[in-house]
Amino acid sequence: MEVTTRLTWIEEKILENLLGKASLTLLYKSSVHGSSIFRMTKTCSHQGATMTVVHLNEEVVGVFMLECFSSLPSEKPRTCVWFSFERNNSPGISALFLDTVVTVSNEQLKFLSPYGLSLTLDPSKCKLHLNNAVIKILDLNVKNISQYLECEIFRVDGIKNDPGFIKRLVTAKQHRRKLVSALRAYRPYEDLVSEARILLVGPVGSGKSSFFNSVKSVFQGHLARQAIVGSDESSITKQYRIYSIKDGKSGKTLPFMLCDSMGLSEREEAGLCIDDIPHILKGYVPDRYQFNPHAAIQAKRFTHVTSPPLKDRIRCVAFVLDSNSVNTLSDKMVAKLKKIQQDAVDCGIGHVALLTNVNDCDKVLDDNFLNMTECATSQSQVKNVHTMLNIPISNILMVRNYASERTLEPMMDILILTALRQMLRVVDDALEDFPLEDNGTLAPL
């Protein structure tokens, strides 16, 4: 009879995706093959990379090992990924890349990392021992010693036999989780406003609407296509849109909005009218306002809004520029961008540049995903934007928007989230710098 895993289809996919596009084949199942450690390790020897999966009541805990079981025991550290996830819950998985010493004794299979993490399996008693460090780092809600329901070991096929690659893959996923959590917890500086509005402006087709779709996709956990995108000589976006973003997990609306505008054109009486910008920045322009390239907004059109609430004001302008064409922008276009930048400065609003269509996402950030690499900052596009708009390199952000992809990619997500986080830092810097009234509220500039 075929032995089947206790993992659900989704749980199996989570584990396969943890390592790129791996596939799992069940080799050992404690309830079928017995609880002898000898049988367990013998069945799994000479099989290449393996994944040991321990089923607890509420959680699944385990270790992936790149090297063969048969090469044990030895004090030589192995390339391992420790992981855990909650059963029947969100698709989130905690995972850590750790060089691990793996030993097999008469009774136990032991995983020990140099940072003092220890995970021990005692198959004869169906017990899993975890020290406090593992419980904390994998965010587990279990005791030090747990009775497990099942232990399974899988052969893992289809992964690159490259510890460096596996490390970057797993670390990227962890970093993505951290960024999402940080952005979920974001509140505008000292709660001076209830929401931070970011205006996306730039030439026709530079990827403004796609950036909103990309941010929404990351928070929803699947590809979103809310804003209409496409390529045309004139702007696809005809209406001013103030988009809110919901956190897919809690369903709550996050306190930042992305404001999508019509593309700027080099042609006369085409594209976003540059004189509309001050009205947009000051929060006069409502959601779904139909842009008119032939005529600027008449201030009196919105006289019913004598003074829009301070939350409606733009707090950061993001100049969205396609990295493939930014080096060949016409003088007319550069003049428009500079005029918008001046308007933003006059209103006490910070700004960043967002370069879209970046090809090699892997090369943008360093190994810790914290800083841009020398290779990225030395690109002519970054240097040109820096000189053209006098924007500090740290505020020149690089992303690849979701366009033709069919699934979410951790590295693309990281760049999108890093860009958003930097925009919100700029929002906070501008809020901190804003003059306050006597009662501590923001003064209208």
Q: How far is the CB of 276 from ligand GTP (least distance, A)?
A: 14
Select the binding partner of residue 357 from Mg ion, ligand GTP, none (C-beta < 5 to 8 A, by kind): ligand GTP
Contacting ligand GTP within 403-442 (CB under 6 A): 403
- What DSSP line would sit under 300-314, residue for residue? GGGTT-SS--GGGSE
- For 443, residues 6+ apart whose C-beta sits below 8 A from its C-beta are 434, 435, 436, 437
Cα gap 254→196, rounded to integer Å: 10
Select the binding partner of residue 422 from ligand GTP, Mg ion, none (C-beta < 5 to 8 A, by kind): none
Q: 270 vs 186, 235, 390, 406, CA distance in Å?
A: 37, 9, 27, 33
Q: 35 vs 3, 122, 125, 130, CA distance in Å?
A: 16, 9, 8, 19
Name the segment binding Mg ion (CB under 5 A); options: 63-71, 236-244, 346-354, 356-364.
Answer: 236-244
CB closer to ligand GTP, 159 vs 204: 204
Instruction: Give the strands of the sheet with 59-65, arranged side by side.
Output: 23-29, 150-157, 50-55, 59-65, 78-86, 94-104, 109-112, 118-122, 127-130, 145-147
Cα gap 353→202, rounded to integer Å: 10
Please give the backbone phi and psi of residue 209, each rounded to the nearest 5 degrees, phi first: -65, -35
Q: How far is the CB of 223 from ligand GTP (least distance, A)?
A: 12
Q: How far is the CB of 271 from ligand GTP (least distance, A)?
A: 8
CB closer to ligand GTP, 176 vs 400: 400
Q: Which of residues 79, 113, 237, 357 is near Mg ion by CB under 5 A?
A: 237
CB neighbourhood size of 158 (10 A) = 12
Q: 284 is written with which tokens?
A: 């006069």
Select the binding partner of residue 204 from Mg ion, ligand GTP, none (C-beta < 5 to 8 A, by kind): ligand GTP
- Inter-residue contact 80 to 66 (CB < 8 Å): yes
C-alpha count within 13 angstroms, C-beta hemisphere, residue 192: 25
Binding to ligand GTP by residue 445, rule CB under 6 A?
no
Q: How far is the CB of 229 from Mg ion (least distance, A)?
A: 6
Select the binding partner of residue 217 from ligand GTP, Mg ion, none (C-beta < 5 to 8 A, by kind): none
Please give the backbone phi and psi of residue 294, each rounded to the nearest 5 degrees, phi first: -85, -20
Binding to ligand GTP by residue 209, rule CB under 6 A?
yes
Select the binding partner of residue 175 from ligand GTP, Mg ion, none (C-beta < 5 to 8 A, by kind): none
Cα gap 179→231, rounded to integer Å: 31
CB closer to ligand GTP, 123 vs 293: 293
Cα gap 157→215, rounded to integer Å: 33
| Residue indicated by tokens 């930097």 | 422
Q: Which of residues 52, 171, 209, 401 is near Mg ion by CB under 5 A?
A: 209
Binding to ligand GTP by residue 208, rule CB under 6 A?
yes
Site string (94-113) toward ligand GTP, x via CB under 6 A: --------------------
Name the segment binding ligand GTP (CB under 6 A); options: 119-127, 140-148, 179-187, 227-235.
Answer: 227-235
Binding to ligand GTP by residue 207, rule CB under 6 A?
yes
Binding to ligand GTP by residue 123, rule CB under 6 A?
no
Binding to Mg ion by residue 206, rule CB under 5 A?
no
CB closer to Mg ion, 259 vs 326: 259
Cα gap 252→32, rounded to integer Å: 45
Q: 42 is written with which tokens?
A: 């013998």
CB neighbourhood size of 330 (10 A) = 10
Name the segment binding ligand GTP (CB under 6 A); options: 66-74, 232-240, 245-253, 422-430.
Answer: 232-240
Name the segment binding Mg ion (CB under 5 A); options: 83-91, 144-152, 208-216, 358-366.
Answer: 208-216
Q: Which of residues 217, 401, 418, 422 is near ligand GTP by CB under 6 A?
A: 401
Select the binding partner of residue 230 from ligand GTP, Mg ion, none (C-beta < 5 to 8 A, by kind): ligand GTP
Name the segment binding ligand GTP (CB under 6 A); options: 7-15, 73-81, 141-149, 197-205.
Answer: 197-205
Q: How far is the CB of 412 from ligand GTP (least distance, A)?
A: 9
Cα gap 204→234, rounded to integer Å: 7
Binding to ligand GTP by residue 130, rule CB under 6 A?
no
Contacting ligand GTP within 262-321 (CB under 6 A): 263
Nearest in space to 18 (alpha carbons), one of 89, 95, 74, 91 = 95
Q: 22 is written with which tokens?
A: 């791996």
Contacts with ligand GTP by CB under 6 A lie at 202, 204-210, 229-231, 235-237, 263, 356-357, 400-401, 403
Applying CB under 5 A, the residues found at the interface with Mg ion are 208-209, 236-237
